[in-house]
Structure formats: structure tokens, C-alpha cells
Amino acid sequence: MNLRVIYCKTRQINWNGKEESAIPFVTSEPLPVVPVEINGKRINAFIDTGGAMFVADSKLTKELGIKTASKKEGTFQGGNIVEVGFGQVDSLTIGDVNMKNVPVMMGSFEGFEEAFKGNASNVHGVIGTSVLKEFIPTIDYSSGQLVLRPRNEVGMANANKMLANDKVLEEIPFTLASTHYMYAKGSINQKSGMNFFMDSGFANGEGAGMQLPKETMDLAGIPIPELKSASEGQSSGMGGSDYKDGTFEISSYSLGSLQLENGFGNYTTGEESRYYEEVGFFEDGLIGHNYFKNYKWTMDFDSMKMTFSNLK
């Protein structure tokens, strides 16, 4: 979800006497989904580091009387331009944590119901990076839960305690561009030094764990795959399906040295400008859900490092 936004930091967070909160996934496929409450109404929301902020279905926000303060056109999957609204949620509760006065982006969730069919219902929200940044979060795919900790010394001590009991696989520095673009160095087919955008909300039914522009594919010696219309079997929610894409084989790809072999990648038409213009430097590709789901992924937005681990 590629959209520049201006938002205010959420300042009122009530932990209700807890030092951390573990929220079990409703499902982990096609994306991890957790229950939340927005202004007291319970819905399900999926976790998406490619999203700028908390996003809610415009039908839901209208039902709850959430006012639209402004509107803007955003660029989504396949380069599609969609109008979205911005407002403020009085209360957002995730597990034991309650946040007040949370900025919200509002748009159509048409298509998401089909995407989550058979795995989760009532999916009307997205937990983006500006929400995760309020915490020291762990997206724990191995045990199926989102763990939130306060972004302070207590939260860091609890995160370190967890990691001491895990098998730590890799600690990787990352940078943050604009409001939510998380980047780390990685490789594709042994070509190192690549800038990869970490987009946990990118899911592909054909198993693709990353998406590449033509320039990176040329560098890695990967031919453009046979393309088909995304409307032939994919539902993209706010992004629509007015684009073509295809899947190709990858011998290996990684963040840091944490490498997966014999994987798949995705090429999508309409994405070309994003890889140059959105963040002011060249983006070699993005890494998505089918990579991250192999790990426990802990993010530290103070030291700007992320740790990938598994249970011992």
C-alpha cells in the first residue's frame, strides 16, 4: 500500500496493568489476522507493514459515524489510483492495549471478503506500520500470535527475555523512509546489496515471497514471466485488479544472510514508478508474507534493527 500520509503520533496508550499483550491470530493465511475493537465494535484486522497506518473499511466508519477530515488519491497494487479518506478513531483496542485518538485511513474493502474466505470473516481493518511503531512488536508466525510490548526499557527487557529462549537466526538493521517504508539489505539469486521494502501485506496465492521490477529481474537474469490479468483469480481489495502479473522461479533470496532457496517471485505491471519515486531512492523489490511466515519477527524502532528467530 503505497501512500504518503501525515499523521500524529498516538499519545494515549493504556496497558491496563499489563507489561505486554499476546493476541492470537484468527488465521495466518493468506495474511495474519487478529481481532481488534474500533470505537467499541469488534472486527478483524490483518497485519500489513506495507500499510502506512490503521485502515478501516469505509462502510464500517460510516456506520460508526467517523467523520472524514480529508481525502486523497493513493497508489495501490498494480499502480491503481484510489481515493481514500482520513479521519480519527476515538478508540482502538488490540488485545489488552487500548489506544485513543488514532489516525485512520478509510477505503473500500471490497474483495477482501473473498480473499479471506474460509479462513476469516469480518475482516474490516488493517494494522499498518504507524500502529506497530508505537510498540516493540513480534509477529510470531511460528506460534500464531502478535505480541505487543511498550516501547520502553520494560518492553525491551521482555523482548530480550523472549529472544534469550529462542533460536536467534539473524539480527538485521533497517531504515525507515517517509512514514512507513521499512527497508533492509538483502540478495536475489546471489546478487547482494539490494534494497528491499518489507511488505508483510503482500501475499500471493502462487507462493511468491517477493515482487521485483524489470530492472532487478534483468540484473538477476530473470525473464519476464507470462502475464495474466489479476482479475482472473485474485481479489486485491483497495488495490483493485486492473493489472497483469506473473510468477517466476527464484534460486534464492534473503534479508541479510537469512536466505530461502527454491522460491517464487512476482512481477506486476503498473508498479514501475513506485520503485523510483516514492522514497527518493531506488527500491530493488519488496519481500512479503511468504518469506516472513517462516519466522518470529521482532522489530525495534529505537535501535532500528529487527530480529528473526524461531522456537528452540
Candidate from 34-48, 89-103, 144-158, 229-243 with smallest mean pLDDT: 229-243
Give the number of other CB atoms < 10 A from CB of residue 178.
13
Grid cell of 63 as nine digits: 456506520
Q: What is the pLDDT of residues 30-56, one digit of tens each?
A: 999 999 999 999 999 999 999 888 999
Average pLDDT taken over every residue of the chain: 87
Q: What is the pLDDT of residues 103-154, one digit of tens each?
A: 999 988 887 888 898 899 999 999 999 999 999 999 999 999 999 999 999 9
77, 268 Cβ separation under 8 angstroms: yes
- The band of 80, judged by pLDDT with boundaries at 50, 70 and 90, is low
Of 273, 275, 147, the C-alpha closest to 210 is 275
Q: What is the pLDDT of residues 254-291, one digit of tens each?
A: 999 999 999 999 998 866 545 555 667 788 999 999 99
More confident residue, 231 or 53: 53
What is d(CA 129, CA 144) in angstroms, rounded to the nearest whole number? 19
Predicted local confidence at residue 180, as pLDDT? 84
> Up-side HSE of residue 123: CA atoms within 13 Å toward CB?
30
Q: What is the share, in percent, of the chain residues with pLDDT greater than 90?
A: 67
Q: What domains, with CATH codes, occur in the chain? A: 12-164 (2.40.70.10), 173-311 (2.40.70.10)
196, 184 Cβ separation under 8 angstroms: yes
Is the pLDDT at 62 greater than 90, yes or no? yes
Predicted local confidence at residue 3, as pLDDT? 43
- The band of 86, judged by pLDDT with boundaries at 50, 70 and 90, is very high
- The band of 70, judged by pLDDT with boundaries at 50, 70 and 90, is confident
- The band of 161, judged by pLDDT with boundaries at 50, 70 and 90, is very high
Predicted local confidence at residue 7, as pLDDT? 42
What is d(CA 206, CA 271) in angstroms, rounded to the nearest whole number? 19
Who's near 9: CB < 8 A, 6+ residues apart? 134
